[in-house]
């Protein structure tokens, strides 16, 4: 497994792969790898002859009061895991390599970057789209793999790839969960035992919404209320869950959906973000409304 930190060297290696008609499958990550990332790596392995994984904690997508400084950095063990998965190239640039001091160009997906997480994390999606556009230009992948857990990120990146004519397909892998439903996230390691128990309520709330939608409830306000009631059931002696948002949105445009039946051809997802202690967690489920007989 090659580990490359220079953008020039990475671009030269990947240009050669493209020239040989076997562009890399790219899995962009910020490291602190878990089974969710590894499931994407396995997908990439099965669909691309060469697999590249980027590890870069991107300062541009963190707000000033967020966890950039304490975000877990576990490079050596990440590399051991990736080597065991048969990854060909790890791209791990420094911040200076990715953002020379005079860099002043950003990619911004207008009208989508301020929805869901973008509303409570101003600048977050601009940071994500800027770094991913750079990674696409450096790695020139044929396929790029992202997790469904970050559904809003997926929507924004798909739109960016389409609007800017990147010559690649965005592939989305399913959310990997713990036994109690908690979506795997590098941030789960911030949780203490009590917070870890409360964190499972996010998926419980989403599951209730999913079940009610399947049973025929199509009014999204009622679905959201049902989800909020689940969150209100966090035991009083447990760690509090503070809701940032619980919304039902179109997974492509991220616009709010008011009724699941109003346009049955369009999809809908229930998306949640909540703080457990000071840790912000996100999750979502795709809703499939009841089908009339």
Where along the sequence are the contacts to ligand PAF (CB under 6 A)?
28-30, 58, 61, 128, 131-132, 150, 153
CB of 31 to ligand PAF, least distance (A): 9
Q: Are 2 and 89 in contact (CB under 8 A)?
A: yes
CB-nearer residue toward ligand PAF: 7 or 61: 61
Residue with tokens 């793999």: 145
Element (H, E) at 285: strand 279-287
Residue with tokens 């869950």: 241
In this structure, what token pair is assigned to residue 205? 């709330």
Question: What is the rounded CA–CA span in Å between residue 278 and residue 264?
Answer: 38
Chain center to CA of 271: 12
Chain center to CA of 248: 17
CB of 245 to ligand PAF, least distance (A): 18
Q: Which of 30, 33, 37, 188 is catalytic?
A: 37
Question: What is the rounded CA–CA span in Å between residue 180 and residue 175?
Answer: 13
For this structure, is 124 an active site residue? no
Q: Are 233 and 226 in contact (CB under 8 A)?
A: no
Question: What is the rounded CA–CA span in Å between residue 209 and residue 173?
Answer: 22
CB of 196 to ligand PAF, least distance (A): 21
CB of 292 to ligand PAF, least distance (A): 37
CB-nearer residue toward ligand PAF: 183 or 234: 183
Residues in the chain: 293
CB-nearer residue toward ligand PAF: 30 or 223: 30
CB-nearer residue toward ligand PAF: 30 or 213: 30
In this structure, what token pair is assigned to residue 175? 């959310």
Residues catalogued as catalytic: 37
């Amino acid at each position: 497994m090659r580990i490359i930190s220079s953008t020039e060297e990475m671009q030269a290696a990947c240009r050669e792969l493209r020239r040989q008609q076997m562009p890399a499958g790219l899995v962009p990550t910020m490291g602190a790898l878990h089974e969710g990332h590894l499931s994407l790596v396995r997908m990439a392995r099965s669909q691309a002859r060469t697999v590249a994984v980027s590890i870069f904690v991107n300062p541009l997508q963190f707000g000033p009061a967020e966890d950039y400084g304490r975000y877990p950095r576990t490079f050596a063990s990440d590399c051991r895991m990736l080597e065991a998965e048969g990854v060909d190239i790890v791209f791990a640039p420094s911040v200076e390599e990715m953002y020379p001091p005079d860099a002043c160009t950003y990619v911004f997906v207008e009208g989508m970057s301020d929805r869901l997480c973008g509303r409570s994390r101003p600048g977050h999606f601009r940071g994500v789209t800027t770094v991913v556009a750079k990674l696409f230009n450096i790695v020139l992948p044929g396929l790029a793999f992202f997790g469904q857990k970050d559904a809003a990120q997926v929507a924004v990146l798909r739109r960016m790839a389409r609007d800017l004519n990147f010559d690649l397909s965005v592939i989305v892998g399913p959310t990997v969960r713990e036994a109690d439903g908690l979506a795997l996230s590098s941030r789960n390691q911030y949780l203490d035992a009590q917070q870890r128990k409360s964190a499972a309520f996010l998926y419980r709330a989403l599951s209730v919404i999913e079940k009610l939608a399947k049973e025929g409830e199509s009014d999204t306000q009622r679905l959201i209320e049902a989800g909020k009631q689940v969150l209100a059931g966090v035991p009083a002696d447990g760690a509090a869950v503070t809701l940032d948002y619980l919304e039902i949105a179109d997974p492509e445009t991220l616009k709010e959906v008011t009724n699941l039946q109003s346009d049955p051809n369009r999809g809908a997802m229930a998306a949640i973000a909540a703080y457990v202690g000071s840790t912000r967690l996100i999750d979502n489920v795709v809703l499939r409304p009841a089908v009339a007989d």
